[in-house]
Structure 1
């Protein structure tokens, strides 16, 4: 029987996973997808939300600092006893109208910390364990990392940095059997994304329907579960020969996808 004809409900049985930003949105959906397939999952977030998977172990902390990221990684390893899968989904976007000149120095630093450096720091803190398990990493960037400008230039710059570093690290880890891939979301309905989108559509004087109308695939938004399924594939053995690649999940928008 082909190894691909498997029971996906047991695909991650015995696997240990860490999902940052796992309390809601894409992170929560990913954590639930891994749990449903048998994984033991730690979600990293400041607190639980209604959509946080009940079966997940919560490790709370602030990933905006090196000390916070290292503390979270240490506690997660202690709770799991190792790690096979790391999903860096933590992130936050804020709109500063009317343009990039309205973005303060503090906001630039904060965006780099949460949207780029948090993933770098957590990954570095867990890399020894991932080498042991020959694990898999997925970094969630943004379909708009090339296109963002103006009021969200700081977010786009941080995601571009995350993408560049991810591609470089993937090449370093490949000889060690550790795979790292990127998932780049387009217009996905999540609590954070919806809040940002509301600000954008209000400023543009358009409706949500008009905003999504540019999506080639039926002019509709995606769901967090769409991203979770893509991430599950990339961290699974089904993607055992895939590393250093970017999977765009944006209904056909590709690199021009936005929140």
Structure 2
């Protein structure tokens, strides 16, 4: 049995593609033979073969339109969209600390950027009768952390619902839509956050990691996921090997979310 993912020659757009999961995914898709357009607000000066970096602000409708237009012009068509862009910069303090501006930022970054990119690129996929859309959600839409990420969790919940509805609409037209829901991932930003917590608590980095894992109610696997592990899952899901998978959500959290 061959485990060739049959991705050679296909094209992809990855938002948030220069750091963390996005960067790992760009490399995974490239290694699988795809040509990848990767977006971020700032991008490297040079790119490896079959990677095209586009600097754009996807927090604006104009930025999303520009990326979609450039991707179609550069590649002639997009086979795969992976909406990785997301995050939270909200302050601690619970619901009372979340101003209208904080809510707007969370919803724009974690929901509307994906909605706008999809809206711009799906018509070309529908015309061809094929394509894959991946939405990276978060376990926080099931397990929110009220101290600082209520708006983020709510926006990711909205993204998950939107994604499920979209799958019902476009799957009959040949477009698969799948959600990937990570738990805590040990990205560069996560490492910095753990180190800040460690410094504040007077412990080391491993102690900082434990503080985060405890705040999640524990991670049965005993560690956060690595960006490469998440990107490997997504790479499989966008491949023809996953041709019957649509409308589903794949949780990759080391067992963090309890089930009834």
TM-score by length of 2: 0.88
Q: Which moved more, 1:53-62 or 1:183-192?
A: 53-62
Q: CA RMSD in A?
A: 2.2
CA offset at residue 92 of structure 1? 2.0
Residue 113 of structure 2 is aligned to residue 102 of structure 1: no
Residue 249 of structure 2 is aligned to residue 246 of structure 1: yes
For structure 1, the residue ranges without an aligned partner over 5 or more in a row are: none
* Residue of structure 1 equivalent to 2:162: 165
CA offset at residue 179 of structure 1? 0.1
CA offset at residue 16 of structure 1? 0.6
Selected match of 1:156 from 153, 157, 162: 153
CA offset at residue 6 of structure 1? 3.3
- Tell me, yes or no, if the aligned pair for 2:143 and 2:257 is still in contact at 8 Å: no
Q: Which moved more, 1:162-171 or 1:200-209?
A: 200-209
Give the match's secondary structure for 2:167: helix
Selected match of 2:88 from 78, 86, 93: 93
Residue 135 of structure 2 is aligned to residue 134 of structure 1: no
* Residue of structure 1 equivalent to 2:42: 47
Selected match of 2:220 from 198, 216, 222: 216
* Residue of structure 1 equivalent to 2:139: 143
Number of residue pairs the alignment of both structures matches: 249
For structure 2, the residue ranges without an aligned partner over 5 or more in a row are: none
Give the match's secondary structure for 2:148: helix
Q: Which moved more, 1:148-157 or 1:80-89?
A: 148-157
* C-alpha separation in 2, matches of 1:91 and 1:210: 23
- Tell me, yes or no, if the aligned pair for 2:43 and 2:54 is still in contact at 8 Å: no
CA offset at residue 221 of structure 1? 1.3
Residue 118 of structure 2 is aligned to residue 123 of structure 1: yes
Give the match's secondary structure for 1:194: helix
